[in-house]
Structure 1
């Protein structure tokens, strides 16, 4: 094929083609041609051998019948498969050179090429009945390009929808987790309600035994003094008072507010302590014997 291209480009006349082609032979090919002139062509010179005789002798030796039959079988089984249209067409053209009798005209060539295409490319082309091979190949390429562009758009839309759904799922999961964290447990509420109730003696809600009217300290639960003059308060540091050690307090003691004033203990010398001032409602103050009011 390369030699034929050169000869055609030179506008080489028919009677000189074999001479110029044989001139390009070298090594084993040159020795083979000299033997062919003696054995096949009866000692005739190259200028007296026609181009058709030369091509037949060359192909019979370098492309034997077994190789041609193998190429023909491969051409018969050729389909597009995973190839692109361009790759399929190149393979089709190369193998068809070894099976010219299978495609004697343009109509048969187009029909064989069309049957080997993928279904999604072949089906749109069947109704047109195209009998021009270049036109058929070009339309098959256009259909393939349109299919690839459509697939890219679908993939882009799919990735776009997945990108939108992921943040929503994460937000929903986060909100669900937050609501679960903040939701109070019913068991804790039930337990708290069952241990604290309205006292019929003092009219307040507290836990345990009511100490109202018993001259008992709300802080240490010892009789003989009130919580405001409890000696244990003077022994505690300010940090311990502020930390609120709930394990030693009772739920029935009124709400306490820290104050910086110094309160003297009964029967003892004045000392700087961190007292607690209790805040009561008006109703609680009227019912409590421990409340001191200003006249």
Structure 2
């Protein structure tokens, strides 16, 4: 605004708020009624002594010198770096120094990729921060794609396991019969085989033709009773009834 030093103090006083207004009134009163208008440097020194003492300033400079990205994103690190750099104007007086300070605090993987870019002619803090932000975005997208692919493979494997686990052989809950079940199956199988064999033997006997008797000329089994006094049907002696012709 090309204002004079005395006018700058008056203009700045209109920007003060809350407790700073009361401080300014008290500071002007302490100068005395006949004191000349304060100069800009006098105002700045008094204001900083009140609200930004030397020990706080040194602490901010130390934070800037030891600032590292750590777990911060590039955006968060850039904002913190820009905020603290104003407290150390003599350290980063040249743009190359400020760019170097920013790159030195990045995480190792980003340092390796940004070190060469930082040496390009005309590189300033805004461009190196934008370049680093773009690198972080690309790495984040690659990580998301990798995680998505792993998740899809995991879901496919889980669905395959569910299909396999849902199959159960008949008469078995777990797929492996217990010892008692195996014994029961064995007994049942043996009884079934015995019954089947007995049935086949009886059926064979029933189907086998009876031999023809040489005495009576008829087909029958056992001893021939023709000419005896026993019953031809039950074989009992003195049975009532006539022999079968």
Same fold per superposition (TM over 0.5): yes
Distance 2:154 2:52 in 1: 57
Distance 2:160 2:4 in 1: 79
Deviation at 1:193, TM superposition (A): 3.7
Distance 1:113 1:284, change over 3 A: same
Select which of 24, 32, 37 maps to 1:29.
24
Select which of 62, 67, 71 maps to 2:56.
67
Distance 1:195 1:153 in 2: 62
Please name the residue that 1:170 is paired with: 162
SS at match of 2:129: helix
Distance 1:183 1:139 in 2: 62
Deviation at 1:84, TM superposition (A): 1.3
Question: Is the contact between residue 22 and residue 33 of structure 1 (CA under 8 Å) also seen in structure 2?
Answer: no
Distance 1:189 1:95 in 2: 85
Please, what is the CA RMSD of the aligned residues?
A: 3.3
Distance 1:288 1:125, change over 3 A: farther
Deviation at 1:61, TM superposition (A): 2.7
SS at match of 2:79: helix
Question: Is the contact between residue 196 and residue 205 of structure 1 (CA under 8 Å) also seen in structure 2?
Answer: yes
Question: Is the contact between residue 22 and residue 30 of structure 1 (CA under 8 Å) also seen in structure 2?
Answer: no
Distance 1:57 1:161, change over 3 A: same
Distance 2:27 2:80 in 1: 30
Question: Is the contact between residue 79 and residue 116 of structure 1 (CA under 8 Å) also seen in structure 2?
Answer: yes
Q: Please, which moves more after superposition, 188-197 or 162-171?
A: 188-197
Deviation at 1:287, TM superposition (A): 4.2
- Do residues 122 (structure 1) and 111 (structure 2) align? yes
Deviation at 1:178, TM superposition (A): 2.2
Equivalent residues, number: 195
Question: Is the contact between residue 71 and residue 98 of structure 1 (CA under 8 Å) also seen in structure 2?
Answer: yes
1:39-77 deviations in Å (ceiling 9; x for gaps) = xxx92214xx1x344323321332110110111111121
Distance 1:14 1:144 in 2: 47
SS at match of 1:89: helix
Deviation at 1:98, TM superposition (A): 1.5
Please name the residue that 1:105 is paired with: 94
SS at match of 1:178: coil
Q: Please, which moves more after superposition, 130-139 or 184-193?
A: 184-193
- Do residues 155 (structure 1) and 147 (structure 2) align? yes
Distance 1:180 1:195, change over 3 A: closer
Please name the residue that 1:93 is paired with: 82
Please name the residue that 1:80 is paired with: 69
Deviation at 1:189, TM superposition (A): 3.9
Please name the residue that 1:270 is paired with: none
Unaligned runs of 5+ in 2: 211-245
SS at match of 1:101: coil
Distance 1:192 1:58 in 2: 103
- Do residues 134 (structure 1) and 106 (structure 2) align? no
Distance 1:180 1:69, change over 3 A: farther
Distance 1:65 1:29 in 2: 20
Distance 1:18 1:78, change over 3 A: same
Please name the residue that 1:217 is paired with: none
